[in-house]
Amino acid sequence: AQKVTQAQTEISVVEKEDVTLDCVYETRDTTYYLFWYKQPPSGELVFLIRRNSFDEQNEISGRYSWNFQKSTSSFNFTITASQVVDSAVYFCALRLISGAGSYQLTFGKGTKLSVIP
Amino acid sequence: EPEVTQTPSHQVTQMGQEVILRCVPISNHLYFYWYRQILGQKVEFLVSFYNNEISEKSEIFDDQFSVERPDGSNFTLKIRSTKLEDSAMYFCASRATSGSGGEQYFGPGTRLTVT
């Protein structure tokens, strides 16, 4: 079975500070996808990124960056120069690539980020 | 851009009543999912549906739950006799391919409140 752990339940930062959200995962499979989703107060799930287990290159998209380290089973998410609009709950998730399952997502418990103006 | 839609956005029902949550997946998608999120908690997998049958379900998905694709467009989740603990946000998702690839696209969710 897969498991995703987001140890930080809540984080508060002051606007313009950088913040890193941690994600650690467990799986016996060698091929999988990792995801980050944002859930604003309105409740919908907004897809942010998907990474393949074969690809450990870090990725940057504007103020967002992701650090994938297979050696430590971590997929951390950094927001640079945080803004009030970044306030949301952020979920890390995993799903397998191989096997005969239905490839459902396994989510972490989420980290609530509050950015204070 | 095509999207998954869900209706209603918010449903209030009394304990013991039946509810049907509706989803319209993206039209050429083959895999359909329901997830549940109890307030303040993580998103949990309920069930997946492929080729007109359940392909996988979690232990949450007990006999009071059922899913159906009654026509070519809708995908429904029925809760036969609601309990207070069924109060949650229910997300529908769909995926294009039958293999391991393809992205899951989530709908906006239906907030179910059982009183």
Q: Is pLDDT above 80 for A57?
A: yes
Residue in A with minimal Cα distance to B34: A104
The pLDDT of residue B115: 97
The pLDDT of residue B94: 92
Amino acid in position A97: I
Do B42 and A91 touch, CB atoms closer than 8 A? Answer: yes
* Torsion (CA) A99, A104, A106, A109 in degrees, nearest 10: 180
Q: CB atoms < 10 A from the CB of A70, how many?
A: 12
Do A13 and A31 touch, CB atoms closer than 8 A? Answer: no
Which residues are within 8 A (CB) of A100 and not within 5 positions of it... i.e. 6 or more apart?
none
CA distances for A98 relative to A30, B17, B101, angstroms: 9, 40, 9
The pLDDT of residue A101: 66
Contact A43 B33 (CB under 8 A): no
Which residues are within 8 A (CB) of B65 and not within 5 positions of it... i.e. 6 or more apart?
B46, B47, B77, B78, B79, B80
Residues written for chain B: 115
Interface test with B, best of A5, A9, A30, A104 (most B CBs within 10 A): A104
The pLDDT of residue B6: 97
- Supply φ then ψ for residue B84, to 5 degrees: -55, -40
Determine what percent of chain A is predicted with pLDDT higher than 70.
96
Task: Sort out which chain B residues have CB atoms less than 8 A from A34's CB and list them.
Answer: none
A–B: how many Cβ contacts below 8 A?
Answer: 51
Between A93, A99, A102, which is nearest B55 by CB? A102
The C-alpha atoms of residue B29 and residue B33 are separated, in whole angstroms, by 11
The pLDDT of residue A111: 97
Name the CA radius of gyration of chain A, rounded.
14
Print pLDDT tens along chain B (115 aa): 778 999 999 999 999 999 999 999 998 898 999 999 999 899 999 999 988 999 999 999 999 999 999 887 899 999 999 999 999 999 999 988 756 667 788 999 999 999 9
- Supply φ then ψ for residue B39, to 5 degrees: -50, 125
The predicted model gives A86-94 an average pLDDT of 96
